[in-house]
């Protein structure tokens, strides 16, 4: 059997739930059933990770998850209501509400009626996206870590390595960026790198001499990071047995891959807790807004939490730029590549890379899950 004990427990729990549901149908007309207990918003392990990494109590973590879920639901309709005046949005932890930037005061009342706060800005999200797209055509020097549209500053933020800020090549890149639109320069401690690692026994999967982490189960296999293996590469499971083959892989440019699994392995809507917390069920892939809490599971550092810092960021790795990434304050280390990013029970993406570690801190980027599913025509395995 090619699953860990915690995962076997989760599978058994799922089967028991289905069985009980079927028996209820048979007796519903004869025996009144008690009201079902409300489903918890998150497992105790997830709440513990949020307490450790975000400094929240268990009740504060539950309240935040509930508020973030409501904000994600408002985000789509608010974007439509603002129309061409939409300037981006983010979750504000201090108020527990979504903030929507608009360029036209006439649209504020309609957006507020949906349950969001508003901020009047100069540049629309479409204009900022065009400015970023122009940057994506440039070749960046190593001292530039990446760039993204930031709705809170209503600009394109260019992140440069602090020690390289005055380097001629970096200054030239920033000057060219400023010529194309509103730019804010931010310093970062280190340049980003990917999180693959040499082979270590007892971890989830290997390809060649590289260890990476499984992202999310899809029907027929799983998704992970593209830098972990090329299309056609064989994959071995945690126990060293043949597990599957990379059916598709893209890196740089993107950082995602799809692994098809062999018979003897199967998929379930579960993200492993690796023995440190209970396994997590996956119920969907609704995208969390900027500012929302987010947690990551990886084979090296297990569960770590933080917040979403930016979306649609271009990350300048040494191997080349990767586009449309999401930046977080979550730490990671070698071997965590490809692992799962979740917001509550909603899949967000697979770990790509970052800087720092889980002792001194750092930042991590992930490739959004919905882009990967669309690219390969995959269906996320959910409860």
Enumerate the active-site residues: 227, 255, 337
In 3-state terms, what secondary structure has residue 17?
A: helix
Buried/exposed code over 220-242 (b: 16+ C-beta within 10 A; e: otherwise): bbbbbbbbbbeeebebbbbeeee
Other Cβ atoms within 10 Å of 43 Cβ, number: 16
Q: How many helices (H) and strands (E) does the chain have?
A: 7, 23
CA distance 243 to 232: 13
Q: Is the dihedral of CA 346, 348, 353, 356 positive or negative?
A: negative
Strands 302-317 and 144-150: antiparallel
CA distance 334 to 317: 15
Locate 61 and state its tokens.
Answer: 């973590």
- Phi, psi angles (nearest 5°) of residue 36: -65, 145
Other Cβ atoms within 10 Å of 1 Cβ, number: 9
CA distance 256 to 133: 21
């Amino acid at each position: 059997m090619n699953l860990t004990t915690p995962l076997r427990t989760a599978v058994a729990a799922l089967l028991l739930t289905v069985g009980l549901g079927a028996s209820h149908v048979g007796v519903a007309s004869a025996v009144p059933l008690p009201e079902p207990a409300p489903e918890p918003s998150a497992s105790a392990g997830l709440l513990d990770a949020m307490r450790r990494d975000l400094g929240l109590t268990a009740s504060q973590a539950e309240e935040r998850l509930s508020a973030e879920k409501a904000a994600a639901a408002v985000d789509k309709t608010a974007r439509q209501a603002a129309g061409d005046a939409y300037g981006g949005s983010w979750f504000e932890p201090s108020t527990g509400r979504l903030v929507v930037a608009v360029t036209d005061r006439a649209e504020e009342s309609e957006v507020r009626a949906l349950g969001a706060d508003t901020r009047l800005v100069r540049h629309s999200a479409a204009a900022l996206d065009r400015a970023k797209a122009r940057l994506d055509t440039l070749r960046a020097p190593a001292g530039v870590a990446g760039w993204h549209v930031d709705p809170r500053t209503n600009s394109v933020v260019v992140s440069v390595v602090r020690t390289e800020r005055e380097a001629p090549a970096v200054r030239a890149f920033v000057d060219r960026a400023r010529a194309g639109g509103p730019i804010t320069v931010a310093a970062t401690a280190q340049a980003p790198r990917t999180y693959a690692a040499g082979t270590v026994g007892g971890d989830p999967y290997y390809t060649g001499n590289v260890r990476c982490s499984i992202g999310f189960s899809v029907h027929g296999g799983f998704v992970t990071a593209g830098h972990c293996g090329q299309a056609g590469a064989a994959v071995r499971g945690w126990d060293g047995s043949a597990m599957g083959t990379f059916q598709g892989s893209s890196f740089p440019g993107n950082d995602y891959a799809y692994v098809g699994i062999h018979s003897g392995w199967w998929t379930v809507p579960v993200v492993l807790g690796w023995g440190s917390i209970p396994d997590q069920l996956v119920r969907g892939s609704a995208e969390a807004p900027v500012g929302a809490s987010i947690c990551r599971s990886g084979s090296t550092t297990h569960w770590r939490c933080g917040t979403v810092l930016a979306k649609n960021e271009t990350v300048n790795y040494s191997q080349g730029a990767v586009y449309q990434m999401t930046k977080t304050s979550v730490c990671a280390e070698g071997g965590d590549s490809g692992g799962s990013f979740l917001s509550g029970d909603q899949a967000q993406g697979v770990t790509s890379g970052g800087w720092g570690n889980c002792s001194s801190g750092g930042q991590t980027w992930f490739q959004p899950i919905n882009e990967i599913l669309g690219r390969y025509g995959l269906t996320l395995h959910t409860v």
